[in-house]
Amino acid sequence: MLILMASDHTKKQLADVLARVRKLRLKPHVIPGKNSVAVGITGNSGALDKTLFEALPGVREAVRVTRPYKLAGRDFKHGDTVVPVGPYDIGGRGLIVIAGPCAVESEEQLIRIARAVKKAGAQMLRGGAFKPRTSPYAFQGLGKQGLKLLAAAKKETGLPIVTEVLDQRSLDDVAEYADVLQVGARNMQNFALLKDLGKLRKPVMLKRGLSATLDEWLMSAEYLLSEGNDKLFLCERGIRAFSDHARNTLDLNVVPAVKELSHLPIIVDPSHATGVRARVAPMARAAVAAGAHGLMIEVHDRPDQALCDGPQALHPDDFAVLMRDLAAIGAAVGRDMAEPKFGRQ
Ligand code: PEP
Ligand code: MN
């Protein structure tokens, strides 16, 4: 429910509304608006009686919010969310490109690729230390050692680190090293993990589940927001459909849909969405044209030797060309490549 306060309400009247919400053991969220203030309510499992609030002085109207997600939707927040990560903002005018190998394999591999993506203009470095693999026999990642290598690459290049948190057990370790904790597609509905991440006050990138609807995705975002973590952005990485010409089906349609329904930033991962190197750049360009706030792209300088996802990794030279194309497409749709904000790191 959303309680719209009259434009001439007093501080005391607003305080009384908040007190009534809390008395019902529900949570009020004050939403400043252009002309007045609204109070959003979360915590109720069923519909609330509007008259409970409309009878209070200073209240203009109580309106029901029918969408299942509240904090993730636009009813409770008017402006767009901007997530600060190191010297960059995700969700503003500036495009953010997160690039790097699928998995951290060795110090030499990571530093080489980190330097290359930095040179090409990437703003952040990706690399999985804990890898969710379809086969238990496949490379599972270097674990904590991989996190330490990511820290070394950050020291070397200054790039903030985006890395996956696979489970609650490794959460503290990942949180110590990551600037952005990535929730992978397979974990989008790991609600226990989402609750823990919600209590953490660190940026989280929530990838879309393998076959998640937009509502399900935003409900997962709601878990984080309702626990108090609003440093959150979404990543479309392709969904499972009937197509068999690609690893997944990139749902670019979801980019404007997310922007319409939610204030959360959304980036696109064309690497996992296509699974094929030659298709990564075209879909990356399309994602920027469609209004994405950024991209996550897998890059490897020796893809034939990669321990994970070699066939979809861009060579650093091709990545550099793509970065120039993205800047040009960004300019055509009113976006720049994000520049570091002075004095922030
Ligand atoms: C990844 O980004 O490394 C990854 C495993 O992606 P997803 O969870 O989208 O499959
Ligand atoms: Mn990968």
pLDDT in tens, 103-114: 999 999 999 999
Looking at residue 100, what is its pLDDT? 98
Residues with CB under 6 A from ligand 1: 102, 128, 132, 164, 184-186, 207, 237, 272
- 72: which 2 tokens? 């993730």
Q: What pLDDT shows up at residue 270? A: 98
> Would you state the pLDDT for residue 203?
98
**What is the position in ligand 1's atom list of the atom closest to the CA of 186?**
8
pLDDT, position 209: 98
Cα(228) to centroid(ligand 1), Å: 25
Predicted pLDDT at 33: 84
Sequence-distant (≥ 6) Cβ neighbours of residue 268 within 8 angstroms:
235, 236, 237, 250, 252, 255, 283, 284, 287, 290, 292, 294, 295, 296
In whole angstroms, what separates CA 62 from the centre of its chain?
31
At 250-268, the pLDDT tens digits run 999 999 999 999 999 999 9
Report the percent of the chain where pLDDT is more than 90.
94
**Helices (H) and strands (E) in the chain — how many of each?**
11, 15
The whole-number pLDDT of residue 150 equals: 98
pLDDT of residue 48: 93
Cross-strand partners of 295: 97, 268
Instruction: Give pLDDT, residue 179.
Output: 98
What pLDDT score was predicted for residue 45?
A: 87
Containing H/E element for 183? strand 180-183
How many angstroms does the Cα of residue 273 sit away from the middle of ligand 2? 10
Nearest bound ligand to CA 313? 2
Contact 279, 245 (CB under 8 A): no
Give the Cα separation of 298 and 116 in Å (integer). 12
Ligand that lies nearest to the alpha carbon of residue 269, given by its number in the listed order: 1
pLDDT of residue 342: 83
Residues with CB under 5 A from ligand 2 (ion): 102, 309
Which ligand approaches the C-alpha of residue 312 most closely?
2
Ligand 2 center–CA 103 separation, angstroms? 7
Cβ–Cβ under 8 Å, residues 83 and 233: yes
| Residue-range domains of the chain with CATH | 2-63 (3.30.70.1140), 83-332 (3.20.20.70)
Residue 78's contacts (CB-CB under 8 Å, 6 or more residues apart) are 31, 33, 263
Mutate to test the pocket of ligand 1, among 133, 150, 182 (most ligand atoms within 8 A of CB): 182
Q: Would you state the pLDDT for residue 128?
A: 98
**What's the gap in Å between 308 CA and the centre of ligand 2?**
6
Distance separating alpha carbons of residues 220 and 209, to the nearest angstrom? 10
Name which residue sits closest to atom 10 of ligand 1, judged by CA: 185
> pTM of the entire structure?
0.96
CA dist., res. 24 & res. 35, Å (int): 27
Which ligand lies nearest the alpha carbon of 164?
1
**Amino acid in the structure at residue 128:** G
The alpha carbon of 293 and the centre of ligand 1 are apart by a number of angstroms equal to 18
**Weakly modelled stretches of the chain, pLDDT under 50:** none
Which pLDDT score, from 0 to 100, does residue 330 have?
98
